[in-house]
């Protein structure tokens, strides 16, 4: 398995501000992903965090709004920029260790509320 | 388009009753199907995957390509099975690792 931590675990932010969420894994992983779970909804993939290069974003998500970094094989950050109340969600980091078809592990999530 | 559908938001059963959580998918290739579970105040975790063809905590799920379904079943529900269950799909031959999740079903097992 993989031990994944996220910081912060929760935050309340004002609209127009930005928040950076950190994801730390206890050992090197092949792939890292960022998901969003809006209230009462399922998980939606935001992007794949690529080590040393720009993230790969899913349809409907853009780098200006959700800049992502992955400087090494165990760490990634997601920034939610210029926040609005619609950004209130749980943001989850997930990782795959080994082959890309291996099990995907999820972090505990960051609960973001935008007022 | 790739899609995973879980038609029930809430499924409530009594302890000892059989459980079936429905999952249907839309995908033209060879998908991998998974069931993830999230217990109260815990993180999302893998319950089972169709390629393993195993039983975990008494749960089984069979991939039915004809009906494009991957329903999760347990013959006798336990109170500790109460949780949120998500069905998910991954492209079988892709190297992207991406998962597509259904809407989730809350299973409530009453004593």
Chain B contact probe: residue of A5, A33, A41, A43 with most B CBs at under 10 A: A43
Rounded (10°) CA dihedral B16, B18, B19, B20: 180
**Do A19 and A111 contact (CB within 8 A), yes or no?**
no
pLDDT of res. A80: 98
* Per-residue CA distances from A115 to A11, A36, A89, A108 (Å): 11, 18, 12, 23
Cβ pair B46:A43 closer than 8 A = no
Which residues in B lie closer than 8 A to residue A9 (C-beta atoms)?
Answer: none
A45, A100, A108: residue with CB nearest B43: A108
On chain B, the residues whose CB falls within 8 A of the CB of A45 are 98-100
Q: Is B43 on the interface with A (CB under 8 A)?
A: yes
Q: What is the DSSP letter of A97?
A: -
Q: Compute φ and ψ for B24, nearest 5 degrees.
A: -120, 150
* Tens of each residue's pLDDT in chain B, 111 residues: 789 999 999 999 999 999 999 999 998 777 889 999 999 989 999 999 887 778 889 999 988 989 999 999 999 999 999 999 999 998 755 667 789 999 999 999 999
Cross-chain Cβ contact B86/A103 below 8 Å:
no
3-class DSSP state of A102? coil
Angle among Cα A23, A76, B97 to the nearest 5 degrees reads: 95
Rounded CA-CA distance A21/B38 in Å is 21
Q: How many CB atoms lie within 10 A of CB A98?
A: 10
- What are the two backbone dihedrals, phi and then psi, of residue B70, each rounded to the nearest 5 degrees? -150, 65
Q: Which of B2, B88, B99, B106 to mutate to test the interface with A (most CBs of A within 10 A)?
A: B99
Is residue A2 pLDDT above 90, yes or no? no
Supply the pLDDT for residue B1. Answer: 75
């Amino acid at each position: 398995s993989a031990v994944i931590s996220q910081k912060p675990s929760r935050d309340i932010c004002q609209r127009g501000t930005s928040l950076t969420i950190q994801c730390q894994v206890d050992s090197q992983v092949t792939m890292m992903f960022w998901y969003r779970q809006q209230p009462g909804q399922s998980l939606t993939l935001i992007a794949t965090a690529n080590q040393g290069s720009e993230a790969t974003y899913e349809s409907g998500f853009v780098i200006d709004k959700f800049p992502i970094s992955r400087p090494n094989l165990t760490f990634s950050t997601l920034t939610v920029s210029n926040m609005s109340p619609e950004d209130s969600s749980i943001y989850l980091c997930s990782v795959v260790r080994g082959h890309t078809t291996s099990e995907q592990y999820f972090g505990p999530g960051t609960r973001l509320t935008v007022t | 388009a790739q899609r995973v559908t879980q038609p029930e938001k809430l499924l409530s059963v009594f302890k000892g009753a059989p459980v079936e959580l429905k999952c249907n998918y839309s995908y033209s290739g060879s998908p991998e199907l998974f069931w993830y579970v999230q217990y109260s105040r815990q993180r999302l975790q893998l319950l089972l995957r169709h390629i393993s063809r195993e039983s975990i905590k008494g749960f089984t799920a069979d991939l039915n390509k004809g009906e494009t379904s991957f329903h999760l079943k347990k013959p006798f529900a336990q109170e500790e099975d109460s949780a949120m269950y998500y069905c998910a799909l991954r492209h079988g031959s892709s190297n992207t690792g991406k998962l597509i999740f259904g809407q989730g079903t809350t299973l409530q097992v009453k004593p």
